[in-house]
Structure 1
Amino acid sequence: MRGELLSQMAKDLLNMAPKIASKPLGIVPFVVKAKVLQQLLQHLLAEQINDGELDFLVENWVAVEVPDLQLSFEVSFNEHFTVRPVTSPKVTFSANSSDLLLVVAGKEDPDTLFFQRRLCIEGDTELGLEVKNLLLAIDLQRLPVAVRTLLDKLAKSLLWLQTTSGADVQLS
């Protein structure tokens, strides 16, 4: 009985957390979210920018959709990152927040999520593969220690909740 209760509570939390997080995120103006994303990308990919590894993104728009957070945007690069609402992407990446958190924290491989149909990549396949490989090359050690610690703890908590709930995949 106690195990069933714990399992149900974990399922409920997995279902409610994105809904709760999407409310304040929805209030933040897009221009603020775009500015934060641009600065984060500039910082995390500074080495790749300096090495000229982002030339493939010039005049190419890559969309990111996080349905459970009701968040979507597209990104391009031409000496600096530009983030805008989705209009005309060449490739679109779509996944729920929990799966993206696990990828960012290095706890899940994007290829695994793709084959499990938890990460969807639509559009220009070659561009999608280049973006995926670029993202895998990001050195998370460039993030402040507090942010790395938070990502790690969130990912471990998410994995524990998924295990406790008996969920094999992200609940929506």
Structure 2
Amino acid sequence: MLTLAVPTFPSRLLARLPSAPPSLAFSLAANRLLWPALQTLDWEPLVGRRYAIRINDLGLSLRFTVGPHGFAPDNGTPDLTISATARDFLLLLARREDPDTLFFSRRLVSEGDTELGLIVKNLLDALDPDTVLSRLPAPLARAARRLMAG
């Protein structure tokens, strides 16, 4: 079973940081890992919309938009905010937990445009994890595969 406990001090520190640096780091990583795979799908409904991912136990908020060339940091009011703990986000990424199960158990919270939330969920479900992981350097890809295998 995947275990992850976030110490209190780092999470309090992260919560005080501005959202721009982590949002930029997220956007760069998403452009490298997700954008090539998303382009093979119908990603057009994502364009021009604003998103926030809140990692509750880290006190971290990632804010971004999707444009014709990929992900970019954004500080506007999000159309869709998705919140969960770091552990639950990792379980989702590893496909060891179903988003619907987390949603109905209130461990994953979606706020804002519910139709957009369903579009995002369906696009993420359609992504092939191996295609995404193949964009990582080999040592990171191996570590991610081990994590996903449990």
1:34 to partner: Cα distance = 2.6
**1:146 to 2:135 alignment:** no
Quick one: structure 1 residues 45 and 18, their matched pair in 2 at CA, closer, same or farther if it must change by over 3 Å?
A: farther
Q: Which has the larger radius of gyration?
A: 1
1:45 to partner: Cα distance = 2.6
Alignment of 1:2-151 (within 5 A): 15=5, 17-19=6-8, 22=11, 30-43=19-32, 44-49=34-39, 51=40, 53-79=42-68, 80-85=70-75, 87-141=76-130, 142-143=132-133, 144=136, 145-151=138-144
Number of residue pairs the alignment of both structures matches? 142
For the aligned residues, what is the CA RMSD? 2.8
**How many percent identity over aligned positions?**
35
Higher mean C-alpha displacement, 63-72 vs 134-143:
134-143
TM-score scaled to structure 2, two decimals? Answer: 0.76
1:30 to partner: Cα distance = 4.4
TM-score scaled to structure 1, two decimals? Answer: 0.68
Quick one: structure 1 residues 30 and 72, their matched pair in 2 at CA, closer, same or farther if it must change by over 3 Å?
A: closer
Secondary structure of 1:59's partner? coil
Higher mean C-alpha displacement, 115-124 vs 17-26:
17-26
Where do 5+ consecutive residues of structure 2 fail to align?
A: none
Where do 5+ consecutive residues of structure 1 fail to align?
A: 1-12, 158-172
Instruction: Answer 1 or 2: which has greater helix percent.
Output: 1
Letter in 2 for 1:100: F
